[in-house]
Amino acid sequence: MSPTTAPGGARRPTLRDVARLAGVGVKTASRVVTEEGGVSPAKVEAVRAAVAELGYVPDAAARGLRRGDRRAGVVAVLLEDLSNPFSASVLRAVEDVVRPRGLVVVAGSLDEDPEQERRLVRAVLGRRTDGLVLMPAGGDHGWLARELEAPGGALLGGVLGRAVPVVFVDRAPVGVVADAVRADDRDGARGAVAHLAGAGHRRVALLADDPAVWTAQERLAGYRDGLVAAGLPHDPALERTGLRSEAAAEAAVLALLDADEPPTALFTAQRRLTAGAVRALLARGRERDVAVVGFDDVVYADLLRPAVSVVAQDPGRIGALAAELLLRRLDGDRSAAQDLVVPTRLVPRGSGELRPVAAAP
Amino acid sequence: MSPTTAPGGARRPTLRDVARLAGVGVKTASRVVTEEGGVSPAKVEAVRAAVAELGYVPDAAARGLRRGDRRAGVVAVLLEDLSNPFSASVLRAVEDVVRPRGLVVVAGSLDEDPEQERRLVRAVLGRRTDGLVLMPAGGDHGWLARELEAPGGALLGGVLGRAVPVVFVDRAPVGVVADAVRADDRDGARGAVAHLAGAGHRRVALLADDPAVWTAQERLAGYRDGLVAAGLPHDPALERTGLRSEAAAEAAVLALLDADEPPTALFTAQRRLTAGAVRALLARGRERDVAVVGFDDVVYADLLRPAVSVVAQDPGRIGALAAELLLRRLDGDRSAAQDLVVPTRLVPRGSGELRPVAAAP
DNA sequence: CTGAAAGCGCTTACAG
DNA sequence: CTGAAAGCGCTTACAG
């Protein structure tokens, strides 16, 4: 078996093979395959037949190598965790928008790890990625912009040399000017607190992730905005941040329920934390007297009793808008960087409409 | 702006640029970058410095173009729907297994559409994919094997010419010999029925997807196996297949409840159908007197009341096993095609342990 | 309308 | 240890 032969058998047919079989020059075969036009009908026919007979598929990499634009038809989508519903919905939405353009999607999970983010961004850019949708993991992304070049700042050079458009999703870029599409985290959180205050609650606790995560920071700010707007006092004892898991939220809620002055309502600023809180309330049989509003919708929240009220985001919309923006940049749009903020929607289902109950002695 | 210059600015640095800056030949620069070895320490140092200064990143496509193996470091993962929890978990597991090897993942959704499957498989193979993990959409996959070549049948040639390993997930291959990793659908379904029969149920209804879907067919068979094993009669009126949505399942359950001889238990053979069934029972206030066992775990099923019993699959394990098998094939393993069947696990939570209640008149 | 030559960025196969 | 030449599969730039 010669080194140019694949282990299993025949060499993959090349354009040269097609040309030879069709009895034309390579360039003519290329013209037919790329539908460049300007080829006599007879030769078009011959080339088409050869392509079919050999099962010829153009090599996208070789094509991109010589072409000026060097487009490989690949969009990278780097998100927090491909297996979580939010990331998964964003990915799917991007896929649906770019597929009709013949683009293929490279996907990766960053797990909130800046190191992994850097590695994956490099890996992906080394593979001729045309564009990047990024849910940023670390804080500052100046490194991404080392060679920020384009007018509006929407195109990043950096390790790439060649300008590659980048659109941030879910979180605004820090330390770099770039396009972004995200939910209105702050306003959504504010609205949740307003909703609970409207039901009569004066002691609303916050359960949130590590404020190092951009969205957690925003939601914390929104929570405080909401307290101020409702004229409620700010009680640090009700503010539980740094919660990184469902179990952590569960423990935090149990502790809150046992406090001297327990909250009558909870605003859980993240999906897993909502689940943990509900679990704690069920464990104590308190699900009907402590109100809950969660940020980000929970699958089958409406099947729970009480059904869980949430501030819903629209990951599908965020992904689609990001992909559309990316395509526009790929098409040469050099206008100023955009920051698209998608509104959230409060979905009342029961848990957020419970009225305050005097704490049992 | 010359045609070889990117819109935004500097040309991406090439190995030639690195060599020039380091004052060495291109081949020497290549040796350093690929860590081939056999280069004097002084030159290694000079090349490393040049790489750092220019921000050089090797072009994976150009590399693969010349190399014999033609590996681009890409694994494609084509699943039913990247936004559904099962597919998402499989994808994530594959990613975790291949990442340490420096491979990047191309992901796509097939939506049970054979046409789309064919298009995506071709798109992906045209881009120098090293291996493929496929959750098959259509029925027969003979087309994939048009040029099946390798000994064990685990390598597919087809449109590729060059052998590309393929591992099927979730469903066994039809019309082609290939590796597969899947859950034990039939046995899981049989176990669900046995569990319900064990609780005293004699009228167990089945809600299932279109039997054209391989897993639906298997679970239907398992349901019948279970009836036979428990000595229960087979009542076609209790067998509701072709259910393609949550709403369809909901409607089917409402109809079953209104029947002359309603079931006392439900086996819902798919996640969305389980949700639809639960919704219908809640709507009628019957959730405590009709037992339910679902196939495939539902997020937060344990927070529902009653909590939902399920036959759990392990998508993470399936994805990981598939990826490991694929890597072995990439490493040259030519042994016979494998069919790895991962056992399911019955998780009792409440809904599946309810005892039969005489139907209200 | 057609095709031979050069070149995309890299590695292979060779010769020093 | 080192590097010039050839070539991977394709497209660009040119000359018929």
pLDDT tens by residue, A338-356: 999 999 999 999 999 999 9
Q: Which nucleotide has the shortest C1'-to-CA distance from B37?
A: D1
Helix intervals (H) in B175-262: 185-198, 214-230, 246-257
Give the whole-angstrom CA distance, residue B111 versus residue B106. 16
Residue A104: which pLDDT band, with cuts at 50, 70 and 90?
very high
Adjacent-strand bridge partners of A77: A107, A133
The average pLDDT across A187-200 equals: 98
Structure-token pair, residue B149: 């070549």
CA gap A131, A90 in Å, rounded? 16
Nucleotide C5, nearest residue via CA and C1': A27
Residue B142: the pLDDT is 80
What are the tokens at B63?
């590399």
pLDDT at A63 over 90: no
Q: Within an 8 Å CB–CB cutoff, is residue A52 touching chain B? A: no
Domains and CATH numbers, chain A: 15-58 (1.10.260.40), 74-183+316-343 (3.40.50.2300), 185-313 (3.40.50.2300)
For the purposes of burial, counting CB atoms within 10 Å of the CB of A359, is it exposed (0-12), middle (13-18) or buried (19 or more)?
A: middle
Those of residues 95-114 in B touching chain A at CB distance below 8 A are 95-96, 99, 102, 104-109
Backbone angles phi, psi at B157, to 5 degrees: -95, -80
pLDDT value at B9 more than 60: no
Query: Scanning every residue of chain B, which has its alpha carbon at the shortest distance from the alpha carbon of A163?
Result: B8
In 3D space, the residue among A352, A277, A339 whose CA is nearest the CA of residue A308 turns out to be: A352
Helix-helix angle A15-22:A26-33, to 10 degrees: 110
Q: Which two tokens stand for residue A187?
A: 């306003």
pTM of the entire predicted model: 0.87
**B169-202 tens-digit pLDDT:** 999 998 888 899 999 999 999 999 999 999 999 9
Residue range B63-87, pLDDT digits in tens:
877 876 667 788 999 999 999 999 9
For residue range A226-264, what is the model confidence (pLDDT) as tens digits?
Answer: 999 999 999 999 999 999 999 999 999 999 999 999 999
> Is there a contact between B85 and A82 if contact means CB atoms under 8 Å apart?
no
List CB-based contacts (under 7 A) with strand D. A 4, 11-12, 14-16, 26-27, 30, 33-34, 56, 58-59, 62-63, 65-68; B 3, 24-28, 31, 37-40, 42-43, 62, 65-66
Please give the distance of CA B142 from its chain centroid, rounded to a whole number.
20
CA distances from B103 to A107, A211, B317, B324 (A): 11, 32, 19, 13
Q: Do B64 and A65 touch (CB under 8 A)?
A: no
Predicted local distance difference test score (pLDDT) of residue A93: 98
Question: Residues A324-332: what's their mean pLDDT?
Answer: 89
In angstroms, the separation between the Cα of residue B229 and the nearest Cα of chain A is: 33
To the nearest whole angstrom, how far is the Cα of B263 from the nearest Cα of chain A? Answer: 22
- Residue type for position B343: P
Question: Does pLDDT of B1 surpass 60?
Answer: no
By the 10 Å C-beta count (0-12 exposed, 13-18 middle, 19+ buried), B6 is classed as buried
CA nearest to nucleotide C7 C1': residue:
A66
What is the mean pLDDT of the segment spanning B11-18?
84
